[in-house]
Amino acid sequence: MLTLAASVHCETGGLFDPTVQPLFAAYAEHFAKANTRSRDLPRKIFDTALAGVGFKAVRFDAGAVAYTRPGMAMTLNGVAQGFITDRVATLLKARGFENVLLDVGEVVALGGGRDGRGWRIGLKQGPDDDTVLERLTLTDRAAATSMLRGTTLDAAGRFGHIIHPRQGLVRPAFPRVSVVEDNAARADACRRPPS
């Protein structure tokens, strides 16, 4: 999972960065305070959290993960769901299931569906709205969707969990982004809405 994270981190110029966790924690604490309306953290808190962000300061191998700077932490939420979905798909395929639509948070389509023309999936409007905005047909592919309001930090639901690793909370260009890839882990990691 970390090897994939490192690859996508490099490919996105650092926009995919699992070490964004210190910023996420600072924002979560900020919005937990009563009557917080501003998305801006106090400068000192922002700078301290930002100093703990930077995937290039992570060292890992099969036996250990280490940070080279103090105050660092990681969230694997941006890749783990897809990784787990891929593992389940691999287990099913190894047991002879070759025509399956699997949704374990991210979607994997094995085979061509019931009629052989692909599995049809719907992309919904929002986390609390099941209206289908768009449909995709997948054959031996995976899809992942990220929504700004999939997880919100404030009680009013104005500020989402997608955090720019150098700028903090920014207004994304799109409320939702879906990515289709060969595997769900990669689709999951690549689905960050551009800012």
Each residue of 37-54: pLDDT tens digit?
A: 777 888 999 999 999 999
Please state the domain extents for the chain: 2-189
Q: Average pLDDT in the 84-105 region?
A: 95
DSSP label at 187? Answer: H
Helix (H) or strand (E) holding 65: strand 65-67
As a whole number of angstroms, the distance between CA 43 and CA 41 comes to 6
Helix axes 43-50, 21-32, angle to 10 degrees: 150
Sign of CA dihedral 130, 100, 95, 81: negative
Per-residue pLDDT, 187: 93
- DSSP states of 123-175 as a string? EEEETTEEEEEEEEEESSEEEEEEETTSSBSSTTS-SBS-EETTTEE---S-S
Convert the pLDDT of each residue in 113-164 to its tens digit. 999 999 999 987 766 778 888 899 999 999 998 877 667 787 777 777 888 8
Q: How confident is the model at residue 195 (pLDDT cuts 50, 70, 90)?
A: very low
Render the burial of 102-124: b for 16+ CB within 10 Å, e for the rest.
Answer: beeebbbbbbbbeeeebbebeee
Phi, psi of 32 (to 5 degrees): -75, -20
As a whole number of angstroms, the distance between CA 108 and CA 160 comes to 26
As a whole number of angstroms, the distance between CA 3 and CA 47 comes to 28
The architecture (CATH level 2) of 2-189 comes to Roll (3.10)
Three-state DSSP state, 10: helix
Q: Which residues are CB-neighbours of 132 under 8 A, at least 6 positions away?
A: 122, 123, 124, 125
Helix (H) or strand (E) holding 107: strand 107-110
